[in-house]
């Protein structure tokens, strides 16, 4: 998934960014990413699930900021965040499982 922002729209002074989930998603190929736009890959550990926002997932901007301090100093206007769909599915599945009771037989 590619999240695109206007210049200076992505605010790293906030701790979390929530993204609504609207399926189906359109696949993005590596060749489609513009070389001139600065972007950051969002890792699995950057993703957040908030039970009060069931139709969204969160991105920890504070973790990304901590990991990419030098990059953000050189490129203050990040215009893209890239997230693997498998990571989003894994995080959401982990949250969904917590709503079911598991019993051992």
> Tens digit of pLDDT for each residue in 23-44?
666 666 667 666 656 788 999 9
* pLDDT at residue 96, as a whole number: 44
| Consecutive H or E run containing 56 | strand 56-60
| Dihedral angle computed from the Cα positions of residues 68, 20, 58 and 27, in that order, rounded to the nearest 10 degrees | -50
SS3 23: coil
Domain ranges, residue 43: 2-89
Identify whether 45 is part of a domain. Answer: yes
Q: Which tops the pLDDT comparison, 23 or 61?
A: 61
Identify whether 103 is part of a domain. Answer: no
Identify whether 94 is part of a domain. Answer: no
* Pairwise CA distance, residues 38 & 48, whole Å: 23
Cβ–Cβ < 8 Å for 79, 3: no
- How many domains does one find in the chain? 1
* pLDDT at residue 57, as a whole number: 93
Cβ–Cβ < 8 Å for 75, 7: no
Identify whether 97 is part of a domain. Answer: no
CA atoms within 13 A on the CB side of 82: 12
């Amino acid at each position: 998934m590619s999240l695109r922002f206007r210049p200076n729209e992505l605010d790293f002074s906030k701790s979390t960014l929530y993204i609504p989930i609207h399926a189906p998603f359109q696949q993005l190929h590596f060749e489609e990413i513009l070389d001139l736009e600065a972007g950051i890959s969002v890792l699995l550990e950057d993703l957040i699930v908030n039970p009060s926002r069931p139709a969204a997932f969160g991105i920890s901007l504070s973790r990304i900021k901590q990991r990419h301090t030098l990059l953000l100093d050189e490129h203050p206007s990040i215009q893209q965040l890239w997230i693997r769909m498998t990571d989003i599915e894994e995080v959401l599945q982990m949250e969904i499982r917590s709503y079911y009771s598991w019993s051992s037989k």
